[in-house]
Structure 1
Amino acid sequence: MKPPREKRRDARPRPNAAGRDRRRSGDAAPSHGLGSAPAATRPNPEAAQAVKPRARRSGTLPAETVPLILEVTPNEDYALLDSGSGEKLERYGPYRIVRPEGQAIWARALPEADWNDVDAIFTGDTDEEGMGRWRFPKAVLGETWPMRHDGIDYLGRFTSFRHVGVFPEQASHWSQMDALIRGAGRQVRVLNLFGYTGIASLVAARAGAEVTHVDASKKAIGWARENQEVARLGDRPIRWICEDAKKFAEREERRGSRYDIVLLDPPAYGRGPKGEVWQLFEDLPDMVDLARSILTDRPLAVVLTAYSIRASFFAIHALMRDSFAGMGGRVESGELVIREKAAGRALSTSLFSRWVGA
């Protein structure tokens, strides 16, 4: 996958284009993923009132870049071929797939014949024979199938929640992380919280980092470990930990364990393996503060991605700048988008904010 292009835009940003439907806490089945979540608006008053007052950190705020649009374009591994009428037509390697996309409110650019010439369609129907909610117009495909990102092999899955185990827009963050690790000139430790199927962990490990991958779902951890073997990276140092992400970070802080890069990709709502409840607007401020607390004395980055939340990226941008006051560096915030091949339209998938050290 070619490195994504970065575009700065002067136009006023629109509210968050919502994204995924997957639960990173408690189940491998996604619940805040690419798809049909409505376009976001500002948080509702009830959510705002639930947040406890917090003391601001002192110090000069980091420099800022807003809005920053990180863009993934079509390549041999993945392409958004077309979109419209509430759906998207994608290509993963040789396979063409149709899935729901609530934000695609425009008309399709390709003719109906192109949309019918596909290998898998997510229908949403219940299949009593166990394959879930997919239809295979050509030949029945197995539950798992080979995929690749930038030379890293891994397994896709036709899950009953319309997801396939990878979120291509994240390539923007993966490319930056790879460069930071390779350019550090020293051993780098990466903590991947809410790690899901592990593609980010594999990218970091291939670049030479020691990786700790945390997810509350045993199924997701099993899938991620399987991906490590498929990628032929079994000899790379990756710790796979099934635990509530916040509890793990709190324990690492007490132990004095420190990391150079922390990845945060939390759900809007989720549950941990012991019934822990995650509410993004309530828990994210503490989570970001914890991420700062477990950084080394030569930190490289903290990357936050937020899907399916009713907020502008300015909300998480302000949170990140306040949280990293006195640390120097820069906070860059905006949206992750995928550039469509057929008509060149940009499909926004999520908000992000990342602090990058000086």
Structure 2
Amino acid sequence: MRQKERRPGQKSGTGPASGRRGDERGNSRPPKPANRPAPPQQAAREPASAPAAPERPLMERSGERPPERVPVILESLGAGDFHLIDSGNGEKLEQYGPYRIIRPEGQALWKPSFPSHVWDKVDAAFTGDTDEEGTGRWRFPKEALGETWPLNLLGVDFLGRFTSFRHVGVFPEQIVHWTWMKQQVEAAGRPLKVLNLFGYTGVASLVAAAAGAEVTHVDASKKAIGWARENQALSGLEKAPIRWICEDAMKFILREERRGNSYDIILTDPPKFGRGPNGEVWHLFEHLPVMLDICREILSPKAVGLVLTAYSIRASFYSIHELMRETMRGAGGVVESGELVIREAGLDGNTPGRALSTSLFSRWVPK
């Protein structure tokens, strides 16, 4: 399934769809980002004929659960070519490079801080279905814009793209996780192995590779992988040690577990619902426990972290927090969980305003 335009449907036979959020992220989800050129796979409820979930049982864990840090609020004021200008009335006003964009945002319950004339001076606005998994279209008030445009984030160049699922090829709330990962890779003193599940358009993979990591990027969407490769070329990282794997995420990690392969950092940002390339169906609440369980098994003895984010689900962060603590029982370290938020930064990108909640997260680190 498409992995990461965080996130319409995502990324058979053996495992549930490993797609990204129900939008273009998953396979079939392109841009999810990853592929945005073509429409991403859409999340769907499991049909009667859908392949069954993997049979692998949960491991029996013993020992103490890791200490906890809660709640943790990880905040971004923006980075590179992105910042959140304003929000309110169910929408957000964002800056992506040269373009000012309006997109739906259900959690913006307040009134905008800026007057209407500021919101009117936009280059693009998403209209149509306001549901995260629905499709719509872009309106260009000033002039017709091309499908793609160059962006830079954390030193990595990539393409923004106007997708039919409102996404533009990057999920900026992830900046805080990517910054943390970049710091870990640069400080390790050895090449860390990073696994990016539901990797979408590959921005996280490129950030890791540019910092010196050996990266394995998994996404079930061919279009997303194609988009990610475009981004790799744009960043001048063609020779970077990145493996691009177009496959269902669950099938891939099950095989890695059987082979005894391991990783120092694992990032996973699965969709709420998703469908794999062969009709596999992913249900977050049904399949996440087994996915995390397998991820623990393929963490290296000197692992640096396991990062889970969950987007647009009806749950408290405590649900994934306690799951992570149970999964990492006996492993030591600490589990820190909470929310990812983006802080409004005004027109200049440096004037802090209100915080907009975007995702739940849980992260295990060795200490």
Same fold by TM-score greater than 0.5: yes
Partner of 1:349: 358
Matches for 1:145-184 after TM superposition, within 5 Å: 145-184=149-188
* Aligned-pair CA distance for 1:21: 4.8
* Aligned-pair CA distance for 1:121: 0.9
Distance 1:294 1:74, change over 3 A: closer
Q: Deviations over 1:206-236 (max 9, x none)?
A: 1111100000111111101111011111110
Return 264-273 or 68-77, whichever deviates more: 68-77
Note if contact 2:21-2:274 (Cα within 8 Å) is conserved in structure 1.
no
CA distance in 2 between counterparts of 1:226 and 1:293 reads 32
Note if contact 1:21-1:30 (Cα within 8 Å) is conserved in structure 2.
no
Distance 1:74 1:261, change over 3 A: closer
Partner of 1:45: none
Aligned: 1:77 with 2:81: yes
Aligned: 1:65 with 2:69: yes
Partner of 2:14: none
Partner of 2:226: 222
* Equivalent position amino acid for 1:81 in 2: I
* Aligned-pair CA distance for 1:257: 1.1
* Aligned-pair CA distance for 1:253: 0.6
Aligned: 1:22 with 2:26: no
Report the aligned-residue RMSD: 2.2
CA distance in 1 between counterparts of 2:362 and 2:295 reads 13
Partner of 2:100: 96
- TM-score (ref. length: structure 2): 0.82
Note if contact 2:199-2:219 (Cα within 8 Å) is conserved in structure 1.
yes
CA distance in 2 between counterparts of 1:89 and 1:188 reads 37
Where does the alignment leave 5 or more consecutive residues of structure 1 unmatched?
1-18, 33-49, 126-131
Partner of 2:321: 317
CA distance in 2 between counterparts of 1:68 and 1:325 reads 20
* Equivalent position amino acid for 2:316 in 1: S
Matches for 1:1-358 after TM superposition, within 5 Å: 21-22=22-23, 24-29=25-30, 56-124=60-128, 133-342=137-346, 344-358=353-367
CA distance in 1 between counterparts of 2:233 and 2:206 reads 10
* Aligned-pair CA distance for 1:54: 5.4
Distance 1:279 1:299, change over 3 A: same
Q: Deviations over 1:42-62 (max 9, x none)?
A: xxxxxxxx9x99565101111
CA distance in 2 between counterparts of 1:169 and 1:25 reads 18
* Aligned-pair CA distance for 1:135: 1.2
Distance 1:190 1:222, change over 3 A: same
Partner of 1:39: none
Note if contact 1:313-1:333 (Cα within 8 Å) is conserved in structure 2.
yes
* Aligned-pair CA distance for 1:28: 2.4
* Equivalent position amino acid for 1:326 in 2: G
The alignment covers a number of residue pairs equal to 317
* Aligned-pair CA distance for 1:356: 0.7
SS in 1 for 2:240: coil
CA distance in 1 between counterparts of 2:272 and 2:342 reads 21
SS in 2 for 1:281: helix
Distance 1:303 1:27, change over 3 A: same
* Aligned-pair CA distance for 1:31: 7.8
Where does the alignment leave 5 or more consecutive residues of structure 2 unmatched?
1-19, 34-52, 130-135, 347-351
Note if contact 2:194-2:216 (Cα within 8 Å) is conserved in structure 1.
yes
CA distance in 2 between counterparts of 1:295 and 1:274 reads 28
Distance 1:221 1:76, change over 3 A: closer
* Aligned-pair CA distance for 1:74: 3.9
CA distance in 2 between counterparts of 1:91 and 1:261 reads 30
Distance 1:122 1:25, change over 3 A: closer
Note if contact 2:28-2:222 (Cα within 8 Å) is conserved in structure 1.
yes
- Percent of matched pairs sharing the same residue: 65
SS in 1 for 2:277: coil
CA distance in 1 between counterparts of 2:277 and 2:121 reads 41
* Aligned-pair CA distance for 1:123: 1.5
Partner of 2:48: none
CA distance in 2 between counterparts of 1:74 and 1:204 reads 18
